[in-house]
Amino acid sequence: MRNSIMKQTITVLTLSMVLLGSNACKDDFLDRQPIGVFSEEALKTRAGVNGILVGAYAGLNGAMYGNGSSAGADVNSFSNWVFGGITSDDAQKGADVGGSRSDIERYEVTPASTKLDDRWRFCYDGIARCNDVIRLTPQVAGLTDTEIKNLTGQARTLRALYYFHGTIIFGRLPWVDENTTDYRQPNERVLWKEMETDLQYAYTNLPETFTETGRVNKWAAGVLLAKVYLFQKKWAEAKSVLDAVIANGRTTKGLKYALFARYHDNFRVTTQGGSADTEVVLDANYSANDNSRGFNGGLG
């Protein structure tokens, strides 16, 4: 009896070792879909890629992370209140003295500044969302060529915008696009050429009008392209685009660009960004009283 039990025990142990050994040779158990994250397959739909694109737009107010924290939204927002308004003395940091915003105001920023980290993460989070749209859109069944160019053009405009706002703070950035798999990329030069390519595509392929407020249209892409030219002192190229914008440019609602008769209408809730706003080129939309604790408002 004792020998029989010993043989059974040895057999079970041997079988267990064989099973463990066979599993140890494989690493597919490491491949697990993260909990609470959409798979790419689930997002390969018209609604899926539009949802990612809306997420790319959502970053324009600086509150990117969706975790109940503004995470430096006043620093990240494309209004550039901190890096632009405060540093130019157009605004003051105010409140208590000290902290990273005061360092920025006094031009005493060090690599340890948390606000530099916020801006870096913010830009590349936005770029990642745009890359997802650009990569997945051609794989969505049923989209027409026009729809693909439209979605891709919007994403490429926003990607260029995120790179632009990273560039004016950091200068040279690593280029990460929809085809990048190795994220150890160099930052040997300013990425003007890549921004130009994205914006030229958008300027060529985007429509003039949209039914939704806040989308980037052909002319918004053109204005940003001209701005990228100006930062490189490409005066002739910028003038060519801006001449076309002045002559033919329209808002997403189809209104020809024109100045308000009264300058202060740019800042009135009833006129700024409304259906009759003829000055708006790119409109970052905000909302209030929506249970977001204010993070969908103008934090920047």
Torsions phi, psi of 30, nearest 5? Answer: -80, -20
Cα–Cα distance, 36 to 20 (Å, whole number): 30
Residue 298 lies in a domain: no
What is the Cα–Cα distance from 187 to 88, expressed in whole angstroms? 27
Q: Is residue 90 within 8 Å of 84, Cβ to Cβ?
A: yes
Number of compact structural domains in the chain? 2
Of 245, 237, 239, the residue nearest 220 (C-alpha): 245
The tokens describing 127, both together, are: 């770029």
Angstrom distance (rounded) from CA 109 to CA 91: 18
Which amino acid makes up residue 267?
F
164 and 237 in a common domain: no
Nearest one of 265, 218, 162, 104 to 176, comparing CA atoms: 162
Q: How much is the pLDDT for 160?
A: 98
State the 10-residue block means of pLDDT for the chain, 300 residues long.
51 53 64 73 86 90 56 66 78 67 80 82 92 96 96 98 94 95 92 98 96 91 98 98 96 92 87 83 74 60
**Other Cβ atoms within 10 Å of 75 Cβ, number:** 27
Q: Which amino acid, residue 44?
A: K
Q: What DSSP string runs through 248-274? A: H-B-TTSPBP---SSGGGGG-TTTTTS
Residue 266: domain span: 207-284
**85 and 126 fall within a common domain:** yes
d(CA 2, CA 119): 71
Cα separations (Å) of 122 from 21, 60, 128, 242? 45, 10, 10, 29
pLDDT at 22: 55
Which of 141, 173, 206 is where one domain is finished?
206
The reply to whether 191 and 233 lie within a common domain is no
The angle at the Cα of 258, spanning 257 to 262, to the nearest 5 degrees, equals 145
The DSSP secondary structure of 104-144, one letter per residue, reads HHTT---TT-HHHHHHHHHHHHHHHHHHHHHHHGGGSTT--
93-110 core/surface letters (b: 16 or more CB in 10 A; e: else): beeeeeebbbbbbeeebe
Do 123 and 226 belong together in one domain?
no
CATH number of the domain where residue 141 is located:
1.25.40.390
d(C-alpha 300, C-alpha 293), whole Å = 15
Q: Is residue 90 part of a domain?
A: yes
Place of tokens 């009283």: 289
pLDDT for 97 equals: 64
Is the same domain home to 199 and 211? no
Q: Is residue 279 part of a domain?
A: yes
